[in-house]
């Protein structure tokens, strides 16, 4: 009787352990906001991607989301997971107000959208003919807030695979450069 009681207790302990450690919190895209909440999220080929703080040998690699706005009217946004594990970079030219920006042959609008890092199988870049749209919904130069949404296709530099970044959203306080 004692042996069967031990087996049952061991089994219950094992099941509780499995349930506790196998339940991961589901990643959910942040709401589209315009208040400088420093949020970012996107769906990459059907999987939710959110920035996460990393830890390196020297320091923590900085914040998981950074944004900048230059006096040349270029907005840059970078989100990362870990120190250099995975990164997404958006760069838009000639931004003076809210509006829709796309890649065109004159390189007005979107200058760069990139997905890369040591945990990514290739460096994914914008390409002509791909779907590429970044909508800046708010540019507040007084409070230094940039917010928006994006949907882009990127192509692997080496493998030529096309990936889709959809339902992207960002809301950040930017630094002047």
User: pLDDT value at position 48?
Assistant: 98
Q: If you average pLDDT over every residue of the chain, what do you get?
A: 87
Interval 121-150 mean pLDDT: 95
- Does residue 166 or residue 8 have the better pLDDT? 166
Q: What tens digit of pLDDT does each residue of 85-119 get?
A: 999 999 999 999 999 999 765 556 788 899 999 99
pTM confidence score: 0.82
**Distance of alpha carbon 62 from alpha carbon 90, whole angstroms:** 18
User: pLDDT value at position 15?
Assistant: 47
């Amino acid at each position: 009787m004692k042996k069967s009681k031990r087996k049952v207790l061991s089994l219950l302990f094992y099941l509780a352990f499995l349930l506790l450690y196998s339940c991961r919190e589901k990643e959910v895209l942040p709401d589209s906001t315009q208040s400088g909440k420093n949020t970012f999220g996107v769906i990459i080929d059907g999987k939710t991607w959110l920035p996460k703080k990393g830890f390196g040998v020297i320091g923590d690699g900085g914040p998981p989301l950074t944004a900048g706005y230059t006096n040349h009217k270029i907005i840059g946004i970078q989100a990362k997971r870990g120190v250099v594990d995975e990164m997404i970079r958006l760069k838009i030219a000639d931004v003076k107000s809210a509006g829709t920006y796309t890649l065109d042959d004159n390189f007005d609008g979107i200058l760069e959208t990139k997905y890369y890092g040591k945990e990514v199988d290739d460096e994914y870049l914008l390409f002509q003919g791909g779907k590429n749209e970044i909508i800046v919904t708010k540019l507040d130069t007084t409070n230094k807030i940039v917010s928006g949404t994006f949907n882009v296709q990127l192509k692997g530099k080496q493998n030529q695979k096309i990936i889709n970044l959809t339902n992207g959203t960002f809301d950040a306080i930017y630094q002047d450069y």
